[in-house]
Amino acid sequence: MDIPAMRANFAKAAAAGDEAPLYFYSHLFLSHPETRSMFPVSMAHQRDRLFAALGEVVSRVDDLDSLVPILQQLGRDHRKFGALPAHYPAVGASLLATLEHFDEDWNDHLAQTWAAAYKVVATVMIDAAEEAADQPPWWEAEVVAHERRTVDVAVLRLRPEPALDYLPGDSISLETQARPRLWRYYSPANAPRPDGTIEIHVKAHDGGPVSGALVRQVGVGDVLRLGPPIGHLAFDAESDRDLLLVAGGTGLAPVKAVVDQIARNGPARRVDLFVGARVEEQLYDRPELSRLEREHGWLTVTFAVSDDKESELEHGDIGDVVQRHGPWRSRDAYVVGPAAMVDDTVARLSGQGLPRERIRTEVFAPSRPGPSVDGEVTE
Amino acid sequence: MTSDESLSSGTSRRLTPADLHNVRFTRGSMLHPGYSDEEVDRLLNRVGEELGRVYAEKAELRDRVHALQAQVDGVEVPAPPSEQAVRLLATAQQTADNYVAEAEDFSRQITSDARVQYEEQLRQARETAGAILQAAHEAAGRTTGEAGPRGPESGLSTQELEDQVAYLKAFAQACRVQLRSYLEALLIDVESEWGRADPAVLPKAAARTPVPRGKQPAALNVARAMPMDDGARLTEDSGRADGDGGAAGSPNAEVVKQGR
């Protein structure tokens, strides 16, 4: 593979901006119309991602060791879109046509080297998809409960069929028929239960098509599609340190799964859970958390509000409140929420002497439809 | 016949060219010169059978070739789409994307305006309720202070004040409920406006009937598949503690997030 030539050629297509992916998808859909239904109606974001991802692959193509796990993940994940081995050559042909279209110096040598590189990529993805064939490509999940907790937060209980196995802290992508082909990631708020149901917390973002539909349109009896779980906030069940859990907004979901994991499977560890919101009304899971606190002696829950003068709860940013209750030097810490809240809390905990490697974090931001080449699922 | 007994004795084995080359017939006797008639006839029979089989096989193979050829011809190798077609589809897609993006932007604006309004009204209502409560407490303090020695009357006015406090609490609660349903109505409007953001329907979207769940017209599809990731543009309040929605994040900050 002549990698410098590939990069030079790719740079020409990338310089054309949106034109290049626009050409690619139009070419693909015209030559293989059956692929159109695998994509959402509006392709704007799809286009951004495709070329970003391709650029990543091209820039790493001489470092296959780092590329292969990413491609395998992508290959497995693409099953939920309905991607079949037969689709890969179609994509390859349109990719080459696009690269040719934007390069006046296109020649047979480039065509061969690109074809060879694409074949490597496609083979890795197809093989990974086939290895995952013992799992369904996606799970159908019926909504068995839907509670509006605040104006824009809903808690949903789903029953996947067949049972979906995951670890506390994993993320699961889902699609609702109200917004076909738009996949978003959510974290289960419980450890796997005997009845297989999964609780998810959804906040409707202004203008967010999927989150808005999940909060305001989806109801009991509707069926969602779930993708395979992706590991994120890895919960260290082996550690016997006591825990400090800090959550902002719906970042509560994965840490609640950790609490649930300990409640179900033990061993009991002292757990301090801090939950922050701007105003008291936004603490959407307060009764449930208070119930857990009453049931489990090892659990202490502290609620805090950052902008609510009337409230009788603790006041201040959650990081500040955590710090006031510290120091937490002996703990394993899990911090999940918006980026600013995570950064602030981590800085304060580190400042108090908690080693950084014992703080695990997850930033909750608007979700991507698919993981990036680095496996990120948020923007 | 010397070559091979099986050649003459049975038909189980196929006749090969080598077999024929190796045939050696038994010479006849003085009485009957030449080869043994019987062996020659037997061989001719076998050769005849073999030729028949070969022809049959050949015909069968010819048919298969024809069938396969027809299959190959039937498969259309899709011609690469013309430049014109690609451009046309690209333009159409872009137009659709722009409409969807506009509709989404519109929805985002309205929703965030509604939210700001809701929060402001809630804040005011709370402040008002707080102030009234405060005043009531002060009044109660004064009344009980003044009426202290007068006994029974003071009990009565405390009762009245408690009633008033209860009333105010209920009033505040009602305010909250009403504001909430007001915001809900706004949000439903936004949803339905957004749902009818199909280019063809957009100008007529004035009639605001909420679309019942599960019964959206087909035209909704354009809007349903909005491209934006949920709230992809963080509004200014997204950094606050109540943060963001269902998005799951990255494995840990040092690996993923800090690079961005």
pLDDT in tens, B2-18: 555 445 444 567 888 88
Contact A207 B118 (CB under 8 A): no
Cross-chain CB nearest to A361 (options B81, B225, B252): B252
Question: Which pLDDT belongs to residue A374?
Answer: 56
Contact B248 A368 (CB under 8 A): no
Counting one residue from chain A and one from chain B, the pairs whose CB atoms sit within 8 A come to: 279
Residue B153 has pLDDT above 90, yes or no: no
Q: Tell me which residue of A73, A50, A31, A71 sits closest to A229, measured CA to CA.
A: A73
Candidates A29, A38, A42, partner chain B, best to mutate (most B CBs within 10 A): A42
Q: Tell me which residue of A292, A129, B77, A264 sits closest to A273, measured CA to CA.
A: A292
Question: Which pLDDT belongs to residue A143?
Answer: 97
CA-based nearest residue in chain B for residue A150: B180
* Residue owning tokens 């008002």: B128
Regarding beta strands A223-226 and A172-176, do their DSSP bridges make them parallel or antiparallel, or are they unpaired? Answer: antiparallel
Q: Angle at the Cα of A265 (from A261 to A270), degrees rounded to 5?
A: 70
Question: Which pLDDT belongs to residue A377?
Answer: 61
Contact B248 A364 (CB under 8 A): yes
Q: What is the C-alpha separation between B55 and B238, in angstroms, rounded?
A: 83
Classified by CATH at the fold level, domain A3-134 comes out as Globin-like (1.10.490)
Question: Which pLDDT belongs to residue B35?
Answer: 83
Question: Which pLDDT belongs to residue A367?
Answer: 62
Counting Cβ atoms within 10 Å, is residue A17 exposed (0-12), middle (13-18) or buried (19+)?
A: exposed
Question: Which pLDDT belongs to residue A285?
Answer: 95
Span between the terminal Cα atoms of chain A, in Å: 32
Of A362-376, B22-36, B40-54, the poorest mean pLDDT is in: A362-376
Residue B206 has pLDDT above 60, yes or no: no
Cross-chain CB nearest to A310 (options B126, B232, B247): B126
- Tell me the nearest-neighbour CA distance from A235 into chain B, angstroms: 10
Q: Is A359 left (phi over 0), alpha (psi -120 to 50) or beta?
A: beta
Cross-chain CB nearest to A250 (options B191, B240, B245): B245
| Residue A75 DSSP SS3 | helix
Whether domain A243-363 has CATH 3.10.20.30: the reply is no
Q: What is the C-alpha separation between A272 and A246, in angstroms, rounded?
A: 8
| Residue A342 DSSP SS3 | helix
Of chain B, the percentage scoring pLDDT greater than 70 comes to 63
Mean pLDDT of B138-156: 66
pLDDT interval class at B62 (50, 70, 90): very high
Q: What is the C-alpha separation between A256 and A57, in angstroms, rounded?
A: 36
Contacts of B232 in chain A (CB under 8 A): 45, 208, 366, 379
Contacts of A308 in chain B (CB under 8 A): none
Residue A312 has pLDDT above 90, yes or no: no
Q: Are B216 and B195 in contact (CB under 8 A)?
A: yes
CA-based nearest residue in chain A for residue B233: A366
Of A255-264, B20-29, B139-148, the poorest mean pLDDT is in: B139-148
Q: Interface pTM (ipTM) of the complex?
A: 0.79
B104 contacts: CB under 8 Å, gap ≥ 6? A207, A209, B194, B226, B227, B228
Whether domain A139-226 has CATH 2.40.30.10: the reply is yes
Of A64-68, A168-172, B91-95, B142-146, the poorest mean pLDDT is in: B142-146
Contact A366 B230 (CB under 8 A): yes
Question: Which pLDDT belongs to residue B6?
Answer: 47
Q: Are B198 and B111 in contact (CB under 8 A)?
A: no
Mean pLDDT of B51-77: 87
Hey, what are B165's tokens? Answer: 């406090």
- B32, containing H or E segment: none
Contacts of A358 in chain B (CB under 8 A): none
Q: Are A282 and B242 in contact (CB under 8 A)?
A: yes
More confident residue, B31 or A303: A303
| Residue A273 DSSP SS3 | strand
Question: Which pLDDT belongs to residue B201?
Answer: 43
Question: Which pLDDT belongs to residue B246?
Answer: 38
Whole-number mean pLDDT of chain A? Answer: 89
Per residue in A124-133, pLDDT tens? 999 999 999 8
Question: Which pLDDT belongs to residue A53?
Answer: 80
- Tell me the nearest-neighbour CA distance from A357 into chain B, angstroms: 9
- Tell me the nearest-neighbour CA distance from A106 into chain B, angstroms: 17
Residue A43 has pLDDT above 50, yes or no: yes
Contact A375 B187 (CB under 8 A): no
Question: Which pLDDT belongs to residue A375?
Answer: 56
| Annotated domain spans of chain A | 3-134, 139-226, 243-363
Strand partners, A173: A185
pLDDT interval class at B232 (50, 70, 90): very low
Of A185-194, A270-279, A335-344, B237-246, the poorest mean pLDDT is in: B237-246
Question: Which pLDDT belongs to residue B205?
Answer: 41
Mean pLDDT of B58-68: 93
B28 contacts: CB under 8 Å, gap ≥ 6? B34, B35, B36
pLDDT interval class at B250 (50, 70, 90): very low
Q: What is the C-alpha separation between A243 and A330, in angstroms, rounded?
A: 9
Question: Which pLDDT belongs to residue B22?
Answer: 85
Task: Give a three-class secondary structure readout of B185-198.
Answer: HHHHHHHHHHHCCC
Cross-chain CB nearest to A207 (options B94, B108, B221): B108
A119 contacts: CB under 8 Å, gap ≥ 6? A92
Residue B194 has pLDDT above 70, yes or no: no
Q: Tell me which residue of A376, A372, A319, A371 sits closest to A349, measured CA to CA.
A: A319
- A338, containing H or E segment: none
Regarding beta strands A184-186 and A299-305, do their DSSP bridges make them parallel or antiparallel, or are they unpaired? Answer: unpaired
Cross-chain CB nearest to B244 (options A182, A203, A282): A203
Q: Are A365 and B234 in contact (CB under 8 A)?
A: yes
Strand partners, A160: A141
Counting Cβ atoms within 10 Å, is residue B70 exposed (0-12), middle (13-18) or buried (19+)?
A: exposed
Task: Give a three-class secondary structure readout of A167-235.
Answer: CCCCEEEEEECCCCCCCEEECECCCCCCCCCEEEEEECCCCCHHHHHHHHCCCCCCEEEECCCECCCCC
Residue A286 has pLDDT above 90, yes or no: yes
Whole-number mean pLDDT of chain B? Answer: 71
Of chain A, the percentage scoring pLDDT greater than 70 comes to 96
Cross-chain CB nearest to B228 (options A171, A207, A277): A207
Cross-chain CB nearest to A26 (options B89, B237, B238): B89
Contacts of A355 in chain B (CB under 8 A): none
Candidates B216, B244, B254, partner chain A, best to mutate (most A CBs within 10 A): B244
CA distance readout (Å), A64 to A1, A57, A59, A74, A121:
12, 9, 11, 15, 10
Per residue in B75-96, pLDDT tens? 766 678 899 999 999 999 999 9
Question: Which pLDDT belongs to residue B156?
Answer: 60
Contact B249 A202 (CB under 8 A): no
Contact B118 A205 (CB under 8 A): no
Question: Which pLDDT belongs to residue B148?
Answer: 52
Q: What is the C-alpha separation between A304 and A287, in angstroms, rounded?
A: 15
Residue A333 has pLDDT above 90, yes or no: yes
Contact B250 A364 (CB under 8 A): no
